[in-house]
Amino acid sequence: MKYSFLAIFLFWFLASCSEDISDEIQTELVQEADQFFLLSEIVGESNYLGNLTYGDFFRTLPESLPGCPEMQIDTQLRKITLDYSKTDSCPQANLASRTGKIILDFSQSNSSPGLWFLEYVEYAYQKTHIKGKREFTRLSTSQNAETFNNLKITTDKNLSFDISGGYTYFISRFGFRPFGISYVGRHEGINPAGRNFTQSITEAKEKYINCYSDGYILATVGKENWKVSRGSNDIGYQVSFSSGSDCNTKVRVILPDGRTYDIKP
């Protein structure tokens, strides 16, 4: 009888531990998905700005850019400064907090091939800080390429990502004005846990300027694959972006264990 009771206790103890470990793993996967989504959002947040031409900014009103930054144009240096320190009266429906500056340098955009840069100066989006520079190259009148190295993203919880990567953009225009952008590409780096990861667009992501101008920065179409190293193995997250009501975006993630997780942007 004594041995029977001991066996039952050991079975209960091991089952309980196994359940706790399973819960921890499931929680960790959700937290990791949230972190990767934030990174994907941050990388895409200002890529539209980087695909505007120098001439586009002369035809653009500050209130049509997310956050309604104060816009300063230096025609001698061919630089555009977007200052987010005074955006209290911005009327956009999906207004998000931004601080600092974004500087676009078009001094080499008339070279062959055209080249320009987007630089973050003490810039933060939703209290997540971004530091570094992104380089854009004109491939044609409707296509640009981007590369960046050692872009540093730090969240408000002091979690840091260091990433490098490249993207190709396709810009749709009506007359001289852009109305849509689609893009493919990938970036890679090290996550806050020190693990190597990649985020790849497996189906082109698309944005429409009328939504972007009202503060909605997420793509309304597209798919991504987030892959992270765990020891000698890689695990993957499959992510889809789809349009909801108005300009809202639905984000669905298939976690590595097969569960579905809907992220609420």
* DSSP letter assigned to residue 21: H
Task: Say how far apart CA 190 and CA 198 lie, in whole Å.
Answer: 9
Q: What are the residue boundaries of the structural domains of the chain, listed by start?
A: 33-263
Chain segment 49-72, per-residue pLDDT in tens: 999 999 999 999 999 999 999 999
Rounded to 5 degrees, φ, ψ at 223 are: -135, 150
Chain segment 87-120, per-residue pLDDT in tens: 778 989 999 999 999 999 999 999 999 999 999 9
H or E element in which residue 18 lies: helix 2-45
Query: CB-based contacts of 236: which residues, under 8 Å, 6+ apart?
Result: 225, 226, 227, 228, 256
Report strand pairing: 233-243 vs 249-254.
antiparallel
Q: How far is CA 257 from the centre of its chain?
A: 24
Note whether 217 and 188 are within 8 A (CB). Answer: no
- Rg for the chain, CA atoms, rounded: 22
pTM: 0.88
State the pLDDT at residue 265. Answer: 83
* DSSP letter assigned to residue 158: -
What are the structure tokens assigned to 131, written together?
Answer: 């530091």
Chain segment 195-227, per-residue pLDDT in tens: 999 999 999 999 999 999 999 999 999 999 999
